[in-house]
Amino acid sequence: MSDFKRRDFLRAVGVTGGAGTMFAAMGALGLAPTARAADAEPAFTAPRASDFTLTGRAAAEVVIVGGGIAGLTAAYELGKAGYDCTVLEAGERAGGRNLTVRGGDTVIDTHGGKQTAQFSDGHYMNTGPARIPQWMITMDYCRELGVPLEVFTNVNASAYIHTSRTAPDPVRFRTAKADVYGYVAELLAKATDQGALDKELTAADRERLLEFLRDFGDIGGRVPDDPARSWRYTGSTRRGYRTDPGAAGTPGTVLGPVPSVSDVLTSGVGRAFSFEFGYDQAMLMYQPVGGMDRIPQALTRAVGERKIRTGAVVTRITDTAHGVTVTYTHQGSTRTLDADYCIAALPPNILARTPHNLGGAVQSALEACTPDSVAKLGLEYRSRWWENDHRIYGGITNTELDLGVIWYPSHAFHAERGVVIGYYNFGRDADAYGKPSPKERERRAVAQGVKIHGTKYRTELRSSFSQHWRQMPHVEAAWHSLEGGPDAARFAALTKPAGRVYFAGDYLSHTVAWQHGAFSSARKVVGEVHRRVVG
């Protein structure tokens, strides 16, 4: 797959999902409606035991292949109505890509390479999903399951933007925004005031726009009879201070000098801004206290541990006239499980190479799902130099390096130690970091990070752990790209049952790579199974 950055990926998902092209006609005001009522998901009602009392039917047996978020959720929701669910999970623990790594945790990759994390107590790395937007139903599951939440620091005015043109020194988001917004305001105010937009705007709108721009860009006002000196951006306290304001006698010194508009445009810092405007990346965002795997842990408790068989590698799925037979290996022996229905909640790339009798259309659709490469590195430091020296308490530094981004931890502020995400990259960058040994990955990433943070990025390092999802047994992909989205004709065989087998996973949603997609897809399939059984 091509090399792209996270925001490009997210844009691509939005586009292929078709979401950006649909507008509902709402309200009469003409101004953004919303508010007052909840922006609800399409209503989902969990199956209930009472749904069976009038039908005379009994809850069915369901075998669920794959104990990731989709599989666990299917078992959880069906369990509410008394369905007899068994989850077959190939790995040694449930949760799938929702994997939090703590000190002592070991991962053996598909090449047999073994890593054991050395993180200190209380410090961890979410190797898969790590952030939750407020609108996603992941929040609802956290509430329902009693998983405490805290803010995930997705954006920070004090974090850096690093581009080849800002080198050797990176620039803080706050400074970059002050300059870019300042010049944008100056340029638009000048063009407006000089009549360039008279066809677009009424006189009253022009004045409103100028008033907004003065505030937005912190620019000067109109200088009568002197257009050249009007509306000028000449810097702002918003840039930040070289010496902070303090007591009397210490008014502080604003960062300067202010670069020219040409320098600002050439630097490319503005490319980093739109990330936080996205519907799925805008702050505030959240994370479970203690690690993202608090979610699958809570789901596992709710489902019942005895219903989840780990180390169970499915070797065949057979749809029969009246049920489904799933064959799997467990502790060296081959077993079969018969059930009324099967929910295949494993990754499509893994399912594609699992023997089945679900037909050529299913197989073609599975093979059309393109696995994506994503990699993450956790660097544990013996001091929190990013807080103490740089005064960056959480957030993300944006780079043009092959690291993609650097994340500062969203918890344990002021602790002795902390785990920084040293890269979170995609495509070719992820593949490139996946090839060498963990030690070499660390060496390369640290050499890059030193360019931004100086030598402490190397000297304070305590240990590291790197996760490359294409090399994760039983997963082998960070997520999947479905060209045209899950509703495209080529994937139609996966969005309906194949006999008594249903398909679930974030790849069959319009929010690929988010737990929300897995939850949503599981809910959809649960509803379909339940209506068939009750109905």
- Answer for which of 69, 130, 255, 477 binds its own copies (CB under 8 A) is 255
192 scored as a contact of its own copies (CB under 8 A): yes
Which one of residues 164, 279, 436, 531 is an interface residue with its own copies (CB under 8 A)?
279
What does DSSP assign to residue 90?
Answer: S
Contact region for its own copies (CB under 8 A) — 72-80, 119-127, 255-263, 468-476? 255-263
Q: Does 43 bind its own copies (CB under 8 A)?
A: no
Nearest approach, Cβ of residue 281 and its own copies (Å): 9
Separation CA 240–CA 286 (nearest Å): 27
Residues binding its own copies: number (CB under 8 A): 151
259 binds its own copies (CB under 8 A): yes
Q: Where are the alpha helices (DSSP H) in 275-426?
A: 294-303, 348-352, 360-367, 385-388
- Residue 260 as a binder of its own copies (CB under 8 A): the answer is yes
AA identity, residue 405 = V
Site for its own copies in 475-514 (CB under 8 A): 485-487, 491, 494-495, 508-511
Which of 5, 172, 376, 441 forms a contact with its own copies (CB under 8 A)? 172
Amino acid symbol at 285: M
If the CB atoms of residues 84 and 487 are measured against its own copies, the closer one turns out to be 487
- Residue 473 makes contact with its own copies by CB under 8 A: no
Q: Which helix (H) or strand (E) holds 64?
A: strand 61-65
Any residues with CB less than 8 A from the CB of 96 and at least 6 apart, and which?
66, 67, 68, 69, 70, 71, 128, 296, 475
CA dist 86 and 71 (Å) reads 10
Residues with Cβ within 8 Å of 304's Cβ and at least 6 positions away in sequence, in order, are 79
On the CB side of 322, how many CA atoms lie within 13 Å of its CA?
A: 0
Report the residue number, 418 or 434, with the smaller CB distance to its own copies: 418
The minimum distance between CB 181 and its own copies, in angstroms, equals 7
Q: Cα 525–528–531 angle (5° rounding)? A: 145
Site string for its own copies, 405-444 (x = CB under 8 A): -----x--xx------------------------------
In the block, which residue shows the tokens 């909640």?
345
What does the buried/exposed string (b/e) look like for 322-332 if buried means 16 or more CB atoms within 10 Å of the residue's CB?
Answer: ebbbbbbeeee
Residues 199-218 binding its own copies (CB under 8 A) are: 200-202, 205, 208-209, 212-213, 215-216, 218
The first and second tokens of residue 335, run together, are 């077993």
170 — phi, psi (to 5°)? -75, 165
Span of 36-44, 92-100, 418-426, 473-481 interacting with its own copies by CB under 8 A: 36-44
* DSSP letter (8 states) at residue 531: H
249 part of the interface to its own copies, by CB under 8 A: yes
Residues 296-355 that bind its own copies (CB under 8 A): none
- Which CB sits closer to its own copies, 74 or 337? 74
Beta strand ranges found along 356-417 (DSSP E): 370-372, 374-381, 395-399, 405-408
Instruction: Produce one character per residue of 81-98: b if its CB has 16 or more CB atoms within 10 Å, e if not.
Output: bbbebbbbbbbebbbbbb
12 touches its own copies (CB under 8 A): no
User: Among 106, 110, 250, 437, which residue sits at the site for its own copies (rule: CB under 8 A)?
Assistant: 250
Could you say whether residue 142 binds its own copies (CB under 8 A)?
A: yes
92, 114, 221, 263: which one binds its own copies (CB under 8 A):
263
Stretch that binds its own copies, among 174-182, 313-321, 344-352, 439-447 (CB under 8 A): 174-182
Q: Is 86 in the site for its own copies (CB under 8 A)?
A: no
Q: Which of 12, 46, 108, 151 binds its own copies (CB under 8 A)?
A: 151
